[in-house]
């Protein structure tokens, strides 16, 4: 077949250049910076780290042309919270200086107490332009003392724990990320991608950050976007677990939990010798002990005022076999 020698039109040329840019960005290793001035990112790894917490920022910063390197205490492979084995690029001892230091979360109990991890973060944070935490990584940074007097957020179920354990930190519970200038913290899991794009915005401008988000086919919202802690299940008082006299033999498995800012549905599979009716009675006693809710007669329904709007909690069970049934909790805050 004879190939046409006619020159490509402007649209085809632009499309080709854009495709070439994407192909080149994908083909080159993200370890080395590809922009001037260079930006070097270091990501701290440890046993129990959450994959998305470090992989999402890695992807963002690599796509932005930043140099990205991973580092662990001894440079040996770490095992993530999901069992994936990852080999870091550096040990603490030979890690270079970084412009951006990323502290991911996951199972942070050990890292939060590891003096080697805390000392490394303090040392590398000093010359860095930004320090970014993802999810429960905020607890590691808080343990260094660097977050004292600063605003911070974290994974939704760990917000109260962070506030209780680190009272000098100003914990913010209704944002996707916080920006203190140098120290930036993000909420759970995927929010690390948003905060990483925010760092790209800080270093290269919003146009570049939007371009990176487009390459990743990610709906980035510079103003914040989805905030987990604003969902309707925030009205479920966490003290209930301590106030409800759960049966000693009870095993509960969460089957579903979903909703939006106005409605939430949770369903659990319950295995216990306690009858569904008796379990609902124990829940009612626990809610009464916490206070703040008014029961609707003898129904398994309660009301309260939450954030200036009426909130209704409904509990129901559906029996399947003896000793096994579903417990459903519904929150409505229209």
Mean pLDDT for back-to-back runs of 10 residues, the chain (334 residues): 43 42 41 86 98 98 96 97 97 97 98 98 98 98 98 96 97 96 97 97 96 96 87 82 91 95 94 94 91 90 81 88 91 90
| Cα separation, 35 vs 41, whole angstroms | 13
Residue 273 tokens read as 């010798």
Q: What does the pLDDT read at residue 21?
A: 45
- Give the full edge-to-edge strand order of the sheet including 294-295: 251-259, 263-271, 324-332, 309-321, 301-306, 294-295
- CA separation (Å) from 301 to 66, 256, 274? 54, 20, 20
Residue 58 tokens read as 């890695």
Pairing of strands 324-332, 309-321: antiparallel
| 245-248 long-range Cβ contacts below 8 angstroms, 24+ apart | 245/282, 245/285, 245/286, 246/282, 247/272, 247/273, 247/274, 247/279, 247/282
| Cα separation, 192 vs 219, whole angstroms | 14
Q: What does the pLDDT read at residue 33?
A: 86
pTM of this prediction?
Answer: 0.83
Beta bridge partners of 257: 266
**Taking the CB of residue 185, how many other CB atoms lie within 10 A of it?**
32
| Cα separation, 133 vs 129, whole angstroms | 14
Q: Which residues are catalytic?
A: 135
| Cα separation, 30 vs 18, whole angstroms | 19
Q: What does the pLDDT read at residue 11?
A: 45
DSSP string spanning 42-67?
A: EEE--TTB-HHHHHHHHHHHHHTT-E
**Taking the CB of residue 292, how many other CB atoms lie within 10 A of it?**
12
Continuous segment of H or E residues that includes residue 25: helix 10-27
| Cα separation, 250 vs 273, whole angstroms | 8
| Cα separation, 125 vs 103, whole angstroms | 10
- 222's torsion region: left (phi>0), alpha (psi -120 to 50) or beta? alpha
Q: What does the pLDDT read at residue 35?
A: 80
Pairing of strands 301-306, 294-295: antiparallel
């Amino acid at each position: 077949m004879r190939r046409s020698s006619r020159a490509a039109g402007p649209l085809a040329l632009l499309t080709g250049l854009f495709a070439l840019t994407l192909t080149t960005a994908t083909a080159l290793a993200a370890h080395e910076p590809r922009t001037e001035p260079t930006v070097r990112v270091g990501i701290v790894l440890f046993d129990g780290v959450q994959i998305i917490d470090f992989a999402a920022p890695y992807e963002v910063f690599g796509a932005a042309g930043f140099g990205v390197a991973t580092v662990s205490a001894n440079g040996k492979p770490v095992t993530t919270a999901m069992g994936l084995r990852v080999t870091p690029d550096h040990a603490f001892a030979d890690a270079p200086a970084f412009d951006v230091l990323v502290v991911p979360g996951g199972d942070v109990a050990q890292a939060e107490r590891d003096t080697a991890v805390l000392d490394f973060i303090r040392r590398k944070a000093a010359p860095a332009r930004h320090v970014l935490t993802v999810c429960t990584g905020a607890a590691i940074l808080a343990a260094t003392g660097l977050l004292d007097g600063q605003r911070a957020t974290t994974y939704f179920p760990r917000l109260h724990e962070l506030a209780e354990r680190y009272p000098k930190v100003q914990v913010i519970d209704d944002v996707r990320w916080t920006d203190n200038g140098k120290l930036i913290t993000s909420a759970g899991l995927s929010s690390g991608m948003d905060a990483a794009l925010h760092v790209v915005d800080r270093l290269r401008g919003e146009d570049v950050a939007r371009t990176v988000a487009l390459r990743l086919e990610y709906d980035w919202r510079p103003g914040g976007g989805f905030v987990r802690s604003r969902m309707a299940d925030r009205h479920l008082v966490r003290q209930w677990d301590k106030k409800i006299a759960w049966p000693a033999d009870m095993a509960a498995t969460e089957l579903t939990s979903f909703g939006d800012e106005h409605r939430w549905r949770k369903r659990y599979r319950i295995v216990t010798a306690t009858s569904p009716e008796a379990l609902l009675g124990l829940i009612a006693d626990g809610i009464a002990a916490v206070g703040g809710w008014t029961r609707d007669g003898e129904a398994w329904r309660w009301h309260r005022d939450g954030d200036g709007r009426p909130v209704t909690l409904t509990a129901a069970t559906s029996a399947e076999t003896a000793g096994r049934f579903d417990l459903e909790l519904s929150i409505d805050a229209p």
